[in-house]
Amino acid sequence: MTQPIAALIVAAGRGLRAGGGIPKQWRTLAGKTVLYRTVEAFRSHPRVDRIVVVLHPDEIDRGAELGPDVLCVPGAASRDGSVRAGLEALAADPPGIVLIHDGARPLVPARVITDVITALHTHDGAAPALEVIDALWTGADGLVTGVRDRSGLWRAQTPQGFRFAAIHAAHRARGDRPAADDVEVAREAGLSVAIVPGDERNLKITRAEDFARAAEMLQEDNVSSIPDIRTGIGYDVHRFGDGDHVILCGVRVPHGRGLQGHSDADVGMHTITDAIYGALARGDIGQHFPPSDPQWKGAASEVFLKHACALAREMGFVVTHVDVTLVCEYPKIGPHVPAMQAEMGRLMGLDIDRVSVKATTSERLGFTGREEGIAAVGTATLVKA
């Protein structure tokens, strides 16, 4: 049976170094308070069942802003005391696992939370960290006074996860003696603590410039989360010549004349092929299959369409919908539309309800109205997979 998991978010400090005149956890970051964003990170995680937030006693009333599913408890003058207050609140109905997190780390990725939980399957505790890669100095009065070996050093982050009973007992045993973090408390109690990969995004907002950095990260997220959806437009024309049928959207349609072209002159399929190339910003049929190359003389237009679809896949796109309108007086298209949808769908791997084929006349105007040829206009919609 899966153990219940609780998130314990510590936000009882004053946090005035970040500026703004109010504690940093209550300052706004891209339209939401820092603390609300922190709570959201755990609320949206599928493995987290409960959330307890430790607040300064004077701010308990503000806890309602965090949502009805959050239990807010008053903290203490020290972080250690605030963590103990949160653990005691959970002890009434203890979870199997507790994730202790700093309220000033609002951008913790879901992957970090998941990795901590997973590591607890085989360890008493787990915490994210980043390996120290910069040179380390000691200094005084603005001068470098020495260097330190960075081998084996890590930058600690949160959430720091533990089996609840073990960390609760460890905090009670340590009492009021200050600790750097909950990992120190756990190790003093003999608990094993695994290191899982941290994340640079999981920054702790401490100084004023950290707000600008966090806002930039959120803006990058918003941009990267916008799906890459593209629409291409195709247009093609072929004149009538000798023949007893035309090929339209892969279907042989009887007619008193044929269409002229270097290939089989399938004006509908050429239009959709060009629309796909256009959505990919990869030119047109003529660039990929030059009319001057004799190997494409009389070629079936499905060769071109399949190439365009394959190129889309190579570039990470899926063709999700196509729409083509055939413009002609004759032949009559309507009776053949279902077959055209089926054939185009087969070639592109689309259901027929994602393939639109329709026809119109030009009211006897222009070259199509004079029955000199057939034109087609179409669109293709592609989505980044």
Write out pLDDT tens, residues 363-385: 999 999 999 999 999 999 999 87
Q: Residues 128-166: pLDDT tens digits?
A: 999 999 999 999 999 999 999 999 999 999 999 999 999
pLDDT given for residue 270 in this prediction: 97
Q: Are residues 148 and 242 in the same domain?
A: no
Query: Domain ends where: 179, 196, 225?
Result: 225
Same domain, 341 and 365: yes
pLDDT digits (tens, 9 = 90+) for 218-258: 888 776 667 889 999 999 999 999 999 999 999 999 999 99
CATH no. for residue 159?
A: 3.90.550.10
- Residues 34-78: pLDDT tens digits? 999 999 999 999 999 999 999 999 999 999 999 999 999 999 999
Residues 202 and 347 in one domain: no
Residues 221 and 233 in one domain: no
pLDDT at 294 (0 to 100): 86
Please indicate, yes or no, whether residues 189 and 320 belong to a single structural domain of this protein.
Answer: no
The reply to whether 293 and 234 lie within a common domain is yes
Confidence of residue 19 (pLDDT cuts 50, 70, 90): low
Q: Compute the residue count for the chain.
A: 385
pLDDT tens column, 299-337: 999 999 999 999 999 999 999 999 999 999 999 999 999
Tell me: do 142 and 259 sit in the same domain. no
Q: Last residue of a domain, which of 225, 257, 276?
A: 225
Report for 185-189, 208-212, 314-318: range of highest mean pLDDT? 185-189
Do 274 and 203 share a domain, yes or no?
no
Query: Residue 348 pLDDT > 80, yes or no?
Result: yes
Tell me the average pLDDT of the chain: 94
The model's pTM is: 0.62
* Residue where one domain finishes, among candidates 181, 197, 225: 225
**Whether 220 and 233 share a structural domain:** no
* Domains in the chain, number: 2
30 with 178, same domain? yes
Q: What is the 3-state secondary structure (H, E, C) of the chain?
A: CCCCEEEEEEECCCCCCCCCCCCHHHCEECCEEHHHHHHHHHHCCCCCCEEEEEECHHHHHHHHHHCCCEEEEECCCCHHHHHHHHHHHHHCCCCCEEEEEECCCCCCCHHHHHHHHHHCCCCCEEEEEEECCCCEEEEECCEEEEEECCCCCEEECCCEEEEHHHHHHHHHHHCCCCCCCHHHHHHHCCCCEEEEECCCCCCCCCCHHHHHHHHHHHHHHHHHHCCCEEEEEEEEEEEEECCCEEEECCEEEECCCEECCCCCCCHHHHHHHHHHHHHHCCCCHHHHCCCCCHHHCCCCCHHHHHHHHHHHHHCCEEEEEEEEEEECCCCCCHHHHHHHHHHHHHHHCCCHHHEEEEEECCCCCHHHHCCCEEEEEEEEEEEEC
pLDDT at 219: 85
Q: Quick one: 302 and 279 in the same domain? A: yes
Q: Are residues 198 and 128 in the same domain?
A: yes
By percentage, how much of the chain surpasses pLDDT 90?
Answer: 88
Please tell me the predicted confidence (pLDDT) of residue 21: 77
CATH number at residue 334: 3.30.1330.50
Domain that holds residue 151: 5-225
